[in-house]
Structure 1
Amino acid sequence: MLNNIGLPGLLLIAVVLLVLFGRGKVSSLMGEVGKGITAFKKGVNEEDKELEAKRATEARDVTPEEQRKHENI
C-alpha cells in the first residue's frame, strides 16, 4: 500500500498535517521523534558495548585439541 505513494502523495500528507496541527505542533512532534531515534541508537550502542565487554572477560579454552582428547580419556 505505501509503495505507491511517491513524492506528490508525501507532499499532500505534509500539507494536510500542517493544516490540521499547525507548524509548531508538527515541528515539536518531529523533535520528539528525533529524540526517540537518538535514544534508540544510544541504547543499541550501549548493548553492543556490554556484549563486547562480556565476551572479552569470558575465559576461553585455548588447550590444544590433542591435549583435550587425552584429558577426557
Structure 2
Amino acid sequence: RQIDLAQKALEIALQILKPNGNFFVKVFQGDMLSDFIGRVKKHFRDVKVIKPRASRAKSSELFVLGLRLRAV
C-alpha cells in the first residue's frame, strides 16, 4: 500500500534529518491517512496537508509537509 511507503519514508527521514529539518511526501487519501498525519505531527512542530492547484479535483493526490523536526 502507498501509505506504507510514506511511513517508511518518514522512518528514514527521522533517522537522517537534523533538528528543525523538513519532510515532504506525496500521499493519497485513504482510511490510513489520518493516522499517518498524526504520526507526522508527533515529530514535527508544524504539519501542512497540501492539495496542489494543478491536481485534478477528482484526484486523491495530496502532499504532507512536516516542518521543523522536533529535537529528540
Higher helix share: 1
Structure 2 length-normalised TM: 0.27
- Computing the radius of gyration from Cα coordinates, the structure with the larger value is 1
Higher RCO (CA-CA < 8 Å; seq separation 6+): 2
